[in-house]
Amino acid sequence: PRLPPELERAIFEISALSHLPGIPTLMRVAWRVKEWVEPLMYRVVMVSGASPRKMLGFPIFREYILPLVVENKPSEFFQDNVKHLFLESAPDQAATEALLTACSHIISLVLLMRDPSPYMSLLASMRCLQRLSVEVEALFPGRDIDFIHPLFRNVTHLEIFHHFQPSQMAEFYPGLALVPNLTHVAFHSGF
């Protein structure tokens, strides 16, 4: 007996979400299943050199694979499906720019790369960005942190990584008041 397509789809989506590393296997079942579950594999994109076991089962894109993935998918695919981006190690600047351009509708971003400042204009164009985890001083090297920068316009949750003593956190307070939609702040020192 054949199941109704909407029930079949729900079953495969639940299966995919319950075991993310199994999505590539599910994609080989049938073309329709691939269309349903492949976007779920790209919901969270992690670019890291870390061991896959340490990343909660999310697919990890190594620096050398990422340019190929971005080139082989239409830009709408990433805009529609990638919601969370974790960028720990970056490929070359052109590949990073291509990734940030393709993933322009993300809602959460973790930036742990050494120097994200060359990408400020791309980051500022992310109008859906609500959750940001970043070393803010790396965004604004050699100058004051600009919390009224367009990057922060829709941010509601800000996680600040910083090499500071707890007594130095007060330097951030006046600037944080300028972030218009900020509701949650977390500080991490000595990461």
What region, left, alpha or beta, does residue 140 occupy, with left being phi > 0 and alpha being psi -120 to 50 degrees? beta
**93 and 166 part of one domain:** yes
Q: Is the pLDDT of residue 103 over 80?
A: yes
**85 and 160 part of one domain:** yes
Give me the pLDDT at residue 80, please: 93
**37 and 47 part of one domain:** no
**Domain range for residue 168?**
42-189
Quickly count: other Cβ atoms within 10 Å of residue 80's Cβ.
12
**32 and 48 part of one domain:** no
The pLDDT tens digits of the residues spanning 24-66 come to: 999 999 999 999 999 999 898 888 766 555 556 676 777 777 7
- Residue 136's contacts (CB-CB under 8 Å, 6 or more residues apart) are 145, 160, 162, 172
Q: Stretch 166-184: mean pLDDT, rounded?
A: 83
Q: Is the pLDDT of residue 16 over 90?
A: yes
Contact (CB, 8 A) for 162 and 189: yes
**150 and 175 part of one domain:** yes
Q: Is the pLDDT of residue 91 over 80?
A: no
- Six-digit token string for 178: 């300028």
DSSP letter at 21 equals G
Number of structural domains, the chain? Answer: 2
